Amino acid sequence: MASRRSAGPAGPTFTERARRQQIVECAIDLISTRGYPATSLAAIAEEAGISKAAVLYHFTSKDKLDRATLDHVLEQFFAYVTERVERERDPVEAVVAYVRAMIGYQQANRRHVRVITEMLLDDGGGTRLKTPGSHDTHDRWQRLARMLAAGQEAGRLREFDTRTTALAIGGAIDNVISYWLVHPDVDLDAAADELVAFTVNAIERRG
């Protein structure tokens, strides 16, 4: 049976969209502070100042709210990275932009990082994945591997296995961010510089 909010041909109203966004933001706040397992529908409803039934009116289940929350965070993250990568025409500079954007977004959006590291432990089917960050999920390494392959085709990058290198670069980024979450005094700007040097040395064609 279709939910009441989607029964009309025009879809959700402005008010309903605003309420859904409020609920998602409350979920982000709670997951980032309490952790994913402790963030219940009741807790989200209390944070939003509405009833649990009102939350279910907009999302119908906890699973759908979880998915909407994770999708919202990932969409913002990937849009930020994509925008900065697409500004660059040179393949090496595009990969450098990728590394800096990955670090820069997470530095500026610590709440979202917490949501990602908490919720990417879950693959959407109730099974927890093996590592926080999980650079091998949600097409992350594949996107980077395609960038690396394009750079090889353009003759700017040396020959290497793009999958292995994409996983190595992504894993380095994830490990730096994981360490920073525990040790917030780490200089992420300096870390980004080191990661850029590491990446360029690993991929750039010499001579």
Is the same domain home to 111 and 75?
Answer: yes
- Residue 179, pLDDT score: 94
Q: What is the pTM of this model?
A: 0.82
**Domain-ending residue, one of 21, 39, 60:** 60
Buried b (16+ CB within 10 A) or exposed e, 139-160: ebbebbbebbeebbeeebbeee
Domain that holds residue 7: 1-60
- The alpha carbon of residue 172 and the mean position of all alpha carbons in its chain are separated, in whole angstroms, by 16
Q: Are 65 and 47 in contact (CB under 8 A)?
A: no
- Residue 59, pLDDT score: 96
- Residue 6, pLDDT score: 46
What CATH number did the domain enclosing 179 receive? 1.10.357.10
Is the same domain home to 22 and 44?
Answer: yes
Residue 63 three-state SS: helix
What count of other Cβ atoms lies within 10 Å of the Cβ of residue 23?
23
What CATH number did the domain enclosing 1 receive? 1.10.10.60
Name the burial class of residue 68, with classes exposed (0-12), middle (13-18) and buried (19+) by CB atoms within 10 angstroms of its CB: middle
For residue 135, being part of any structural domain is answered with: yes
- Residue 119, pLDDT score: 87
Cα separation, 6 vs 9, in Å, equals: 8
Look at the chain and report how many structural domains it folds into. 2
Parts of the chain with a pLDDT under 70? 1-11, 121-138, 207
Is the same domain home to 128 and 199?
Answer: yes
**Domain-ending residue, one of 60, 80, 108:** 60
Is the same domain home to 54 and 80?
Answer: no
